[in-house]
Structure 1
């Protein structure tokens, strides 16, 4: 049994020394006294599924019931969803934005670091106007894109149905599902990989190109670079258990929400719903290199939990957002990751990384979709 009362004091009740530990245990100055590093180009690369988000707000549950959708769930489209995208496209309030979880996180990352092209993104698109629209938005946001173009399929789309404070996601991967490992053999792409120090991979992408993921994971382990994995969705954990188990020994940071972590426990037959016990077990899973793993668990307005080596658990409070300020919860998790990574790559203290992630998610919740152009320029005084 964990001694939570001793290990889980809120930040406001803890004595915080000048010296803190960074995400991997190195001693660093507190954020007040820490000088941020000048980021090299492409220090972070991400692998995901580039999608065009089609977002609409509904007043009742009829559309969800028609297509058998659940609130706050993310699924892959099947035959019964074929007409959904056309139906959304014909709605007067439909909005379009560059999407895909990983690409969204990288766009938020760039919004915060402000210097263009500090990150690069890999994924597959079709040869069509949707791909052009996504690429234009990513470039405007400062993300360097390296799309593998698959002419035989259209660019992927994601239906984002917003109902009150909830959202339902239905992804039609299209060309994104055709990404192949050989794209990483291109000379230009090899150069992008060589210069990166941090690799961010979504569970969604693991389902598309596991060979690419394993290749990057082994590279990170062998060259002492940092690998971050987002569990992404419950269905990923249910359908990709073998692939997840294969990559986990290489993962330095695992990020997931409560539902995803519970699903991870279920697929591994751990027979527990105790989030603290699950986080501890995940942190202690076998590791390929000597760096200790960190597991981060989010749960809406509940504190962010961080599980570190030696059974250390940290809790970071999440300020509640007033109901009238909530426009769209889609992208909040992506924004949290983008904010977190923006400080991680600058070797800022863990608490500052997480507070920046929380801040970013609070900004995105106030706009429809991950529309950064509607947000003011990032100001770290707000953190």
Structure 2
């Protein structure tokens, strides 16, 4: 093993096909702004039809976005590693080259049969809807993590991050990493992700099994409210944060920290029995280009600062900075200039 990354992100690598469209195109496919769904057969033609608009091809997938942003924030060579499954095709090569160009150590599993996953990002007035065709991303196997090379990386890593979307693909891989983190007193971070992972009992059973291993849990206000409703905790975000922090914990050497983002409103952090509000960086509407990856980049900034041992307030400040920079770009595009130095 030639490099020893300190952060390991895992998820569904996707090529984002990003376009600003009119509402008629969005409504044609029965989509809604603000939603993230898995593509059905009726959605497949949109991946071709969207090319009638100006299209940008950008590395995507929630955890891959977070990995790229964390690496950008740290500005160190090969600090972050990312894994997921891609196809043996041109889109897979585009993803690898673009992500490696950001300095991330890429360790994809390559599937010979399925094409690399794609996400149609349809944007209207800075709001977006995501329609994902997982493709090869759905073929990730735990055997990839059990190889001698990956075992070496896992043993050397101190921070593990994944997003709920991966729970639809390989929950056994998620549990393997979560248990490794707990057994070795390492840090495990988890993004709650789309409401369907909470609302659908089949998926929520997987989430409930993972939460006892989670040290840092991220959600936006709608995801938080969704789990509050599911668990019968009501709609108060502070109450939901407190309840989540008190959920069963496997590694009692670490308390569970809950982080709820609320767009331009204050971010809520519940840690060690105390709720603190942190105001994000204000941005005029004219500066916001694309809210896609806002949450992913928030997590990337937070993870970068956390890996350097920064206190919670500085972790949230780094998260707010990263998110504010990325939403001024099209998709998860990393600016060439980074004003915040974490060192």
Regarding TM over 0.5, the answer is: yes
CA drift at 1:225: 0.4
In the alignment, structure 1 residue 360 sits paired with structure 2 residue 322: yes
**Which residues of 2 match residues 262-341 of structure 1 at below 5 A?**
262-270=225-233, 272-290=234-252, 291-309=254-272, 311-341=273-303
Q: 2:125 aligns with which of 159, 164, 170?
A: 164
The within-5 A match list for 1:1-383 is 41-58=4-21, 60-88=22-50, 90-239=51-200, 240-270=203-233, 272-290=234-252, 291-309=254-272, 311-372=273-334, 375-380=335-340
Whether the 8 Å CA contact 2:281–2:321 is kept in 1: the answer is no
Aligned mates of 2:285, 2:27 — CA distance in 1: 25
Give me the whole-angstrom Cα distance separating, in 2, the residues matched to 1:210 and 1:83: 30
- Residue 52 of structure 2 aligns to a residue whose secondary structure is coil
User: How far did 1:105 drift?
Assistant: 0.8
- Asked if structure 2 preserves the Cα contact closer than 8 Å seen for 1:139 and 1:145, the reply is yes
Deviation at 1:151, TM superposition (A): 1.1
SS at match of 2:331: coil
Q: CA deviation at 1:263?
A: 1.1
RMSD of the TM alignment (CA)? 1.4
Q: What TM-score does the superposition give when structure 2 sets the normalisation length?
A: 0.96
Unaligned runs of 5+ in 2: none
TM-superposed CA distance for 1:92, in Å, is: 4.0
Which SS does the other structure have where 2:31 is aligned? coil
Larger Rg: 1
Whole-angstrom distance in 1 between the partners of 2:109 and 2:157: 19
**Conserved 8 A contact 1:109-1:341:** yes
Separation in 2 of the partners of 1:315 and 1:287?
A: 24
Structure 1 residue ranges without an equivalent (≥5): 1-39
- 1:103 and 1:151 mapped to 2: Cα distance? 21
CA displacement at 1:382 relative to structure 2? 10
Cα shift at 1:266: 2.0
- Residue 29 (structure 1) aligns with: none
2: distance between equivalents of 1:381 and 1:204?
A: 31
* Contact 1:111 1:377 survives alignment (8 Å): no
In the alignment, the residues of structure 2 paired with residue 274 and residue 146 of structure 1 have an alpha-carbon distance, to the nearest angstrom, of 40
Is this contact kept in 2: 1:331–1:370, CA < 8 A? yes
Contact 1:181–1:212 (8 Å) recurs in 2: yes
For each residue in 1:305-354, what CA deviation from the matched residue of structure 2 results, as whole angstroms up to 9, or x when unmatched?
Answer: 01112x21111011321111111110111111111111000001111111
Query: Matched residue of 1:54: which SS?
Result: strand
The alpha carbon displacement at 1:369 in A equals 0.7
Q: Distance in 1 between matches of 2:313 and 2:168?
A: 31
CA shift, 1:381, in A, is 5.8
Instruction: Give TM-score, length-normalised by structure 1.
Output: 0.86
Contact kept? 1:128, 1:154, Cα under 8 Å = yes
Question: Which SS does the other structure have where 1:110 is aligned?
Answer: helix
